[in-house]
Structure 1
Amino acid sequence: MSSMEGRWILVDVIPNNELSLLAVGNVHHGGAKFGRRQLSRPARLLLFEPFKAALRAGPADFSGAVRLDGQDWDVITKAIRSPSSGQIVAFRGIYTHRGTAIPEPQVVGAWEWEIESRENPVPTRIHWDDWMDVIYEIDPALKRRRQSDPGQWANELVVSSYRGKLTKMAADWIRESNFERNLVVYDIVTRYGTNDPGQKKLQMSSRLFSEGGNQDEKLSYKGITYEFAGQPFVSEPAIETILPEDVARVSFELSTDRVLFCCDADQQRAFMKSPSWADFGLPRDDDSGLDELVHPDDLLTLETYLSRVRMNTAPKKGVTVRFRTLWDRWRRFNVTAGTLNPARNGGRYLLCRLSPL
């Protein structure tokens, strides 16, 4: 994650009042997880904690000096609210060493759609804040007409190649009652109606809301928009950051031609076995001692190999070991292993792979 000190950060609010990182300065982060474990101590205490407090107790924008761990900081935190309901949809903030020049923040606009119904998922009214006028470079005199005519935004201000795709995606999310956050990059027309129109590439972060918290109540669609200088992409509904535990789970589930399990090398126990464990006739116990699973004549071979894995001196080809089956017979497997987070636990926990021979 990019260094945050001295750079404006932009985060949006996703379901369950969690936060995700959209940008650090001019570097886009595509909705990466923004939580305590991902942050340095200054970023956590000067930005993350105030953001979370505002979600619990209401907006409390701040601009001033803060002393933390013997250092003086200039801090600015600001909630971005939807223009009609006033709901917090995003935050931005910055912290710098006291007296350091603070750069100008990126312009971020907030908007809100009132939705007719799930069955007819069209906006009946669009609300923009003043920053949206700045982004689109629109004459303020057009503001009232624009807000009262929802079709005008798509028909006049979205580049034609994006118009159909964007409106269809929004309609699908509303019709399917998808309350996840969505990220979309698209092109718009600026200075519409003048003799000098232009184009910009924007990114919107948006999601569906039910007024009052009941998903059967009136719906609205809220979000933020800002200029996007990176590569265009769409983050499809429900796809957030890819977590290591998700990768491990899917890897286990896809291991149909071999067996995966975790091993506590200190206790000599096998646990967290892949679903394919039973497919190869191995005992189904969730937690098993290696001496219960491995042929007595092969146990020392396996223990020696696992010890060498912990010391990073094991042969890459692994070792051949016989494992007990449900029918009290022995089946030969090639065993290979790797350490899980050796810096934290000294290589005590291993991921082992059994390939049938």
Structure 2
Amino acid sequence: MPYDTNTTATELVPDYAPLIEGKTILVTGVSPGSLGSSYIQCIAKAKPACLILAGRSANKLAKCAEDILATDPNIEIKILEIDLSSLNSARKAADQVNGWEDVPSIDVLVNNAGIMAVEYQLSADGFESHFATNHLGPFLFTNLIMKKILKSASPRVVMVSSDGHRLSPIRFYDYNFDGGKTYNKWTGYGQSKTANMLMALSLAKKLGVKYNLQAFSLHPGAILTNLSSHLDWSTDMDGLLSVYRQLGEKQGWEDQGFTLKNLDRGTATHIYASFDPSLKAHNGAHLVDSHMADPMVDIVKPWATNDLEAEKLWVLSEKLVGQEFPY
């Protein structure tokens, strides 16, 4: 029976249990009540070899680790502090991972951390905060630990994107929004989510054939988590619809609210992207509701699935992080 929008992570784990068992899995953006935490708790039931919980708060990471160990004290768990808005933090965290001799390889990396629709601010490195946190930090961190990922027999990278990619292509000549003058928080978010999709496509193209790396992006659905806790939807919805109207998209005139998923449904596509074996034939694909997205039905924008756009972003990203990764 095909998976769909109602499929839950709890339902998927038994299907993929043989593929999860013995794996080492690193997940960013882990905190109580988050998609990252829900994902980790579900796959923990299938006896992975090691779970690496990454996030900004050591206390929140420790709480998530405690919850898992309470159900299975035999699972090996490692804690990794990382602030993806900081390139220096991404480098330090990568050095730590690369220095773990007891973790010879990483089978699955899930770049799950992110921010959404925040007011304009620059990162410590001088980049717009969405672009820094949701793209440049994960771009650098992923590539710095790539040797360890490629030591896996079946390496896989999952980029958690969003249908918010529809809000903006990559603004190659104004990614910083002219110091805030051209900024819209939904456009900033949209640009970063497009970047997630293009990064998955680049990794698949650059490392798929030669190194057997699989990379996918996904839209988890609309889920109420801490990601949106700062928003006031009574006013912020108008801002979101305004961007769609400026783009001439039908969503701008069809405000019917969000069809919300709970965490169990919201993390199902995470699990599908991480372990489904049939996806090998579709490296670089974008996934929705635990299936490959249909660009027409699921409204996937061509600016987020274009090889040229992906390569342009890769080159720009190397320039901005100050390091080349010539795969």
Structure 1-normalised TM-score? 0.27
Higher helix share: 2
Greater Rg over alpha carbons, structure? 1
Which structure ranks higher in relative contact order (CA pairs < 8 Å, sequence separation ≥ 6)?
Answer: 2
Structure 2-normalised TM-score? 0.29
